[in-house]
Amino acid sequence: MKHSVKVDIFGHDYILKADTEDGHIKRVADLVDQKMKEVSLSTASNNVSNIAILAALNIAEEYLKIKDERDRAEAKARDLTQLIDSNL
């Protein structure tokens, strides 16, 4: 069942509806807030939309890097499992 969670991102309050625990939603919001603050310190732009897009791109890059690493690890585990199975 969805419930409302109030979060603060980059100085703005948002009410989010979620099925997950409040703590998880707050962690997600904290990550977005942190990334936006990092971007705002490293760019000359004060445009919140630009900062949000750059933060989203940074988060997506980190996500894809971790996903690629996980995919490679899973492929290696499959290969090792097949090698073990073929030697039994």
pLDDT score recorded for residue 28: 97
| Residue range 14-72, pLDDT digits in tens | 999 999 999 999 999 999 999 999 999 999 989 999 999 999 999 999 999 999 999 99
- Residue 12, pLDDT > 90, answer yes
d(C-alpha 57, C-alpha 54), whole Å: 5
Structural domain boundaries in the chain: 3-86
For every residue of 62-82, DSSP letters joined together read HHHHHHHHHHHHHHHHHHHHH
pLDDT score recorded for residue 23: 95
